[in-house]
Amino acid sequence: MIKFFRHIRKRLIGENRFSKYLLYAMGEIILVVFGILIALQINNWNTNRVQNKKEAIYIANIKRDLNEQLKTIESQIDYERNINKVASPIITNYKTNQSFKVDSLFTVSIGILTGRRTFVKNTPTYTELISSGNIDIISNNIIKDEIIKYYQELERVELVINKNNNLYTDAVFITEMIGLSEIQIKGEFDIPELTHFIQSESIPLVDLNEPILKEITKSQLKDPEKTLKFINSLNFRNFIAKLHLYLMNNQKKYTEQLLEKVESEY
């Protein structure tokens, strides 16, 4: 093709037909420019196709992460709700009778309340988008902003829950309960596989449930100062569970709304 155009140029120059040559040269330039534009358009099309494919993969992974996050949130809701269910009767009974009914159910309940569940945010896709600088690959700016805001809030909620767990349940509540009540810990292992493992011959678990320890607990809780510590600690433990339940219910709604928006746009 190049030889063909070169031959035409030589012929026009040789025939001294300058005006026709000029027109030909302009046509050749236009043809070259047109070819470059086509090449650029094809390149842009290929780039957009690759970007769209990447975006589709990221969006699919975001949807997967949000669905997994919903499972984590629902599990946390069930756990915090159970803490309320265990703590509330003890508090209510104290308000009614100004005393505690110390029996096996009481000491098992205290064991359950000394537990806590770590809340874990599920952010592999979002973390990759941010760390790789690919967040702008999400072409819908509204959805992109919603995703960023969602994960920022999720990080805040995770921090609040886990700080409460560490700074209060672990550092304060357990410390107080160890000095005030017998604690049966069976309730914290309500998972068949874990129960079987702990109670296997290699790792035997001997729980307390001793009458003498219940008598000591009763004696402890007749002391006004210790009663005050106990009921305040228990009430605040219950409050924290309610706070976590509130945060989780809000985060569940937020997750469902974002998932619905993403699915409607993609």
Q: Using one digit for the tens of pLDDT, what is the confidence trace for 13-56?
A: 555 554 554 555 566 677 667 667 776 676 676 666 778 889 99
Tokens of 228: 């005050």
Report the alpha-carbon distance of residue 52 to residue 142 in Å, rounded. 17
Report the alpha-carbon distance of residue 175 to residue 116 in Å, rounded. 14
Contact 62, 146 (CB under 8 A): no
- Prediction pTM value: 0.79
Report the share of the chain in percent with pLDDT over 90. Answer: 69
72-109 per-residue burial string, b: 16 or more CB within 10 A, e: under 16: bbeebbebbbbbeebbeebeeebeeeeebebeeebbbb
Tokens 């600690």: give the residue. 233
Confidence class for position 208, pLDDT limits 50, 70, 90: confident
Handedness of CA 152, 147, 143, 73 (dihedral sign): negative
Report the share of the chain in percent with pLDDT over 70. Answer: 76
Q: Using one digit for the tens of pLDDT, what is the confidence trace for 115-174?
A: 999 999 999 999 999 999 999 999 999 999 999 999 999 999 999 999 999 999 999 999
